Amino acid sequence: MKNTIPIEKRLFILSKSYSLIREYFAHWQNVKDLDFDKWYQDILQQAIEIEVRYEFNLLMIEFLAKLNNGHTFFFDNKLWRKRFYLGFKIKPIDKNWCIVQSSTENLKVGSLVEKINGQDFKEFYMQKRKYLNASNEQSRKYTLSSRSFLFPEVFTLELQSSEEIKIKVKPLADKKSLFTDFETEGKWIKKGEIAYIKIPSFNEPRFEEKAVDYCKDFLKAKKIIIDVRGNSGGSTPSKLHKQLMNKPYRWWTESTNLQIGLLNYYNSYYQKLEEENPEEATNPIDQGWYSITSLFKDAHLLWSGEETKPIKDALSRRFNYPSRCLYSFCCGGFHNAFQRQWKSNNYWRNHKGEHRPTI
C-alpha cells in the first residue's frame, strides 16, 4: 500500500506554507512577474487530488521552486532520508553533463554522461527542472544531483565512453564522502609576497581547518589568493573569515518584508487626503505619524546584524537615510526619535515623502 497523506493535512501544509511565504519571504524582486496567488490556487487544486506522499512532496517542491530562491524549499525529512545519497555530483560543462565528484566505484571524475535509463540526460534535466530551487539557471543545473529523490531508486548512466554504470540511491545512513580525492591546497607563488590557497568545498570542516592553517603559514604574505572555483558551498567558514580579517567587519545584514497593518492604513489614509485636499497635506511632519508611514510604506527593512553598533551603509540599497534612525526604531520610542532626526537634519524634502539626509 502506498504511503498517503489525508486531505486535511495536505491542505494545512500547503496553506501554512503560502501564509509563511506571504509574511516572511523577502526576495520578490527576483520573481516580479509571478502571480503568487494564482500559482497558489493552481497548486491547491492539485493538492486536493494528490494523495500519495511522494507525489505531494514533489508538488510542494514545485510550489516553492517557483520563487527562484536557493534557500527556499520543501523537505520531507522522514521520506527523503530513505533516498538521500546518489554517490556523485554532475553538472554541465560546455555542452556535456560531466561527473565532477564521485564516491561510486567505476564512475570517475571527468566522465561525460549521455543518457539515464536510455533517456537523453538533457531531456531528463528539463523534466526535473521545475523542482529545482535556484536563483539562476546555472545554479539550478548544479542543484540537480543534490536532489537524489528526483532520480529513480535504481538507474543506469550511459557514458560517452560507451560504459554503463548502475546506480542505486542510498539512504542517509549509507552516505560516503564525495571528497575523498579532494584536499585544501596551499603554496607560495612568490615567496614572502604572494600565497595561494585552493578550497574545494565547505561541506566538511577539514577543508576550512586546513585553509586556516595555511593562512597562519602565510601570515607574512602581502597578498593571498583564495581559489574557490568549483566550490559549491556548505557551512559558513566563519573561522576562515576571522583569520583573514585584521579589523572589525560586517557579519551579515537581515531583510524582511513584514507588513505593519496600522502604518499601512495611515499611509493610505494620508495619500487619499493628499489627493482630496493637498493644502492640508503640505507638511505631514507636523502630523506626527506620517513621518513613520512614509518611511516604511514599502515595508522592507534592512538593518545591521550588530546590536550596539549599526553600520552606516546597511540600509543603502533600499533607503537613503542613516542607520541610526532605524536603530532608534528597533530599540523602541521610534516616533519621537524620527521626529528629532528629521527636524534637526532637515530630512524633509517635499510633501511626497522624498528625503535626502546628510551623514
- Domains parsed from the chain with CATH numbers: 7-74 (no CATH), 82-174 (2.30.42.10), 185-249 (no CATH), 255-345 (no CATH)
User: What integer best gives the mean pLDDT of the chain?
Assistant: 76
Q: What is the pTM of this model?
A: 0.64
Model confidence pLDDT, tens digit, residues 110-136: 999 999 999 999 999 999 999 999 999
pLDDT above 90: percentage of residues in the chain: 43
d(CA 116, CA 90): 12
Residue with cell 494564482: 38
Q: Which of 30, 17, 31 is nearest to 74 (CA)?
A: 17
Neighbours of 295 (CB within 10 A): 22
d(CA 199, CA 205): 11
Q: Does residue 329 register a pLDDT over 60?
A: no
d(CA 86, CA 154): 10
Reported confidence tier of residue 357, pLDDT bands at 50, 70, 90: very low
Model confidence pLDDT, tens digit, residues 148-188: 989 999 999 999 999 999 999 888 766 666 566 678 999 99
Q: Does residue 13 register a pLDDT over 60?
A: yes
Say how many Å lie between the first and final Cα of the chain, rounded: 67
Check residue 242 and give its pLDDT.
87
Model confidence pLDDT, tens digit, residues 336-356: 333 333 333 333 333 334 443
